[in-house]
Amino acid sequence: MRIIQASPIIDKKLKKFKSNKAVFFGFSRILDELKTTQDPRKIGELKHGIYRYCYGIHVTKSHSLLYRYFSDEDIVQLIDLDDHKNLYGRDNR
């Protein structure tokens, strides 16, 4: 079974978004998907820049989850969960 490791930042962000049910449901859906999929790299989008080697996936329309996958150990490491502007420092609209 695949191991999911959450950074302390994820716990803090989940407390921040605890009143936002959409983020909670989306996060739990993504966790289930990361645990059961054959290759977690295929469900996310590979990032570049400061998040090089990380994958991003939309939890809601405006919130994303960043994670890394270590295929040798079959470990998914959750990096950060936030909206686009807070994650990347800019808005691409």
pLDDT of 91? 58
Give me the pLDDT at residue 90, please: 66
Element (H, E) at 46: strand 45-46
- pLDDT of 93 reads 54
Topology classification of domain 3-88? YaeB-like fold (3.30.2310)
Supply the pLDDT for residue 46. Answer: 95
Global pTM reads 0.89
The radius of gyration of the chain from alpha carbons, rounded to an integer in Å, stands at 13
Cα(92)–Cα(25) distance, integer angstroms: 25
Mean pLDDT by 10 residues, the chain (93 residues): 90 89 93 94 92 94 94 95 84 56
- Greatest pairwise CA separation for the chain in angstroms: 39
Segments making up each domain of the chain, as ranges = 3-88
pLDDT for 66: 96
How far is 41 from 39, CA to CA, in rounded Å? 5
